[in-house]
Amino acid sequence: MRDFHRFMRELTWLRRSQPALSADGVRVSQVHNDDRVLAMHRWVNGQGRDLVVVASLNERTLDDYLVDFPWPGR
């Protein structure tokens, strides 16, 4: 249980530290049902602090998995 509580605490910190994670701007950019991977673009209008969130619900590690980003950047 300790690991779960730490995980949830860190997720809560991440959401509070990144405004795009709780803003209205969201676009699902990739859904791969076979690989069970989901990618979404999150943003706050006018701030320029966009995020791309990639979630894998796969039971195995996917090495060298390609994800399309909305545009080039860091």
Q: What is the pLDDT of residues 9-50, one digit of tens each?
A: 999 999 999 999 999 999 998 999 999 999 999 999 988 888
Expressed as residue numbers, the domain containing 48 is: 2-56
Has residue 73 been placed in a domain? no
Could you tell me the pLDDT band of residue 70, with boundaries at 50, 70 and 90? low
Has residue 65 been placed in a domain? no
Report the C-alpha gap between 57 and 41 in whole angstroms.
18
Q: Are 42 and 50 in contact (CB under 8 A)?
A: yes
Has residue 45 been placed in a domain? yes
State the total domains in the chain. 1
Tell if the pTM clears 0.75, that is, is over it.
no
| Cβ neighbour number for residue 5 with a 10 Å cutoff | 9
Has residue 68 been placed in a domain? no
Has residue 31 been placed in a domain? yes
